Chains A and B, each alone.
Chain A
Amino acid sequence: MTALEAAAALRQKKVSSAELTLSALAQIEKHNGRLNAFLTVTAEAALEAARAADADFAAGLDRGPLQGIPIAHKDLLLTQGVRTTGGSKVFANYVPAQDGTVVRKLKEAGSVMVGKTLLHEHAYGITCNNPHYGPVRNPWDTERIPGGSSGGSAAALVAGMCLLATGTDTGGSIRVPASYCGVTGMKPTYGRVSKHGVLPLGFSLDHVGPMARTVRDTAAMLQAMAGFDERDQTTVDRPVPQYLPAEGEVSLAGLKIGLPQNFFFEKLDPQVDNAVHFLAYTAQDLGAELVEVRLPDGHQLNVVSQVLLLAEAAAVHEPYLRKQRAAYGADVAALLDMGRLIPATDYLQADRLRKRMLGVFLNVLKEVDCLLVPATPFAAPLIGQTEVEVAGSLEDTRLATTKYTRAFSALGLPVLSMPAGFTKAGLPVGCQIVGRPWEEDLLFKVGAGLEDRTGLWKRTPASL
């Protein structure tokens, strides 16, 4: 059942929020021992909130489509009275006094928090092989990673442990797990969703976004999350449009979708290439025009993005790393050490280059309405796998995994990540639909059209 189907059932009195919440908690009980998607489960508070949602329905109070829907929050988002670890030992006992803005807004929309999902330590990595709390496992194959850093959220959605989940994305942390687990996620435009009350990693790169099984659920969730927040100076005060696409078949007539001829379709698993091109032809079938485009060098942009993140993360973690070095896992500590050695001149020139490259991307996005590219170059690697063979050469798993996602965090462009297909081994692979700033609504429209036609989200792992 999708969140919007559940919302309709709630209003038709076919189900109660308490029943939906009990069902989610039962799935957590059944699968979390194997998947390790949740770090904290708030069963008692969830049932109390569900009963309150049911009472609101009975009193005629309707807060919108999220009312009574079970939701999980990435354990990077501050939750009042519920510990927020950041997947780390440093914050292992941190219990915030207040909710962050996004948690508060989703609570006000009536959603029911069932718990906090595990992530890569400090959200600084894509494996979710957490040295302190154990690995999160991919529901499609538990020997494989779910992607990260929002891997717990993605795995929880696949396993029906919640109907909605929050994620954060600094270099691909929503889109990579969405791709590896076969769910949908939106990295909104930088400034669209408040980061207040979210443990930071890279302050000019961090984004908060929605994750769900379907495009329409993701759109409904962003509707509740988006907007200016005076407590986050990077948010922008501009109207939030209607994100949820209209019911019925979506026409993409009149839309131009760009397919890059460089970088994004080079050195990737042919199965991913085929899946994304299949979606492109599906879009064409729905009326869109496919246009070949050339983009700035992806390798160069990735270097710029890495320099920015290494330096910013090192600056953020400096006080903790000095005092509690032993509390950091080896991979994160190594990245933070590297960040301390990035010259200030390189950081400043990287910021300058980012702005220049954004200008080139925006020029391309004047010619087309959006871009369609793979999310990851291959399906989920095995837990502990440090290298992946791609097109005949061995590549570092972490760097190769983020090579198609990293740039869009640095550029701040909105990106919808959604399932594109499955490999012969039955593993999901995802695509990214990239748009102009503030045009998330257009991306949801394209995504809904593709999703309605392919129905890929309906597949679930046999083991579940």
Chain B
Amino acid sequence: MAEAQRIELSETSRERLEGLSKTMLGLRGLIDWTEEPGRVYKVEGPAEEPQQ
């Protein structure tokens, strides 16, 4: 992907991205997959309060 976008990452940036990616993979275990997708990704109105 970096090559396709012609992005040259430093070693530090590459390692940090890999770390984030691995953690995000693990965090998927916390997601409630039974949630209604339409509810999760709904377009929020302007006057909505943070979800309680």
Q: Which residues of B, 1-47, contact A by the 8 Å Cβ criterion? A: 1-2, 5, 7-10, 13, 16-17, 20-21, 23-24, 27-28, 30-32, 35, 40-41, 46-47
Name 18 A/B residue pairs within 8 A (Cβ), A-sorted. A189-B50, A236-B47, A236-B49, A303-B24, A303-B27, A307-B24, A337-B13, A338-B13, A340-B7, A341-B9, A346-B20, A349-B27, A349-B28, A350-B24, A355-B40, A359-B51, A362-B52, A412-B50
A303-B27, A307-B20, A353-B27 given; 16 more Cβ-contact pairs under 8 Å: A191-B49, A235-B46, A237-B47, A300-B27, A306-B20, A337-B13, A340-B5, A341-B9, A341-B17, A342-B17, A342-B20, A352-B31, A355-B40, A356-B30, A359-B52, A412-B50
Residues of B within 8 A of A356 (CB): 30-32
**A348 touching B41 in the complex, CB below 8 Å, given contacts A338-B13, A341-B17:** yes
- For the complex of A and B, 9 pairs with smallest distance between CB atoms: A233-B46, A303-B23, A346-B24, A337-B7, A338-B13, A437-B50, A237-B47, A334-B13, A412-B50
Kindly name the residue among B1, B8, B30, B35 whose own CB sees the greatest number of chain A CB atoms within 10 A: B30
- A343, B21: Cα distance in complex, Å: 9
- A123, B16: Cα distance in complex, Å: 21
Residues of B within 8 A of A310 (CB): 20
Pair A437/B31 contact, Cβ less than 8 Å:
no
- A362, B51: Cα distance in complex, Å: 9
Closest to A300 in B: B27
State the majority secondary structure of interface residues on B.
loop
- Measured between C-beta atoms, what is the minimum distance from B33 to chain A in Å? 10
Contact surface of A with B, Cβ cutoff 8 Å: 189-191, 233-238, 299-300, 303-304, 306-307, 310, 334, 337-338, 340-343, 346, 348-350, 352-353, 355-356, 358-359, 362, 411-412, 437-438
- Measured between C-beta atoms, what is the minimum distance from A460 to chain B in Å? 38
Residues of A within 8 A of B31 (CB): 349, 352-353, 356
- A233, B20: Cα distance in complex, Å: 30
- Measured between C-beta atoms, what is the minimum distance from B14 to chain A in Å? 9
Closest to A412 in B: B50
- Measured between C-beta atoms, what is the minimum distance from A249 to chain B in Å? 33
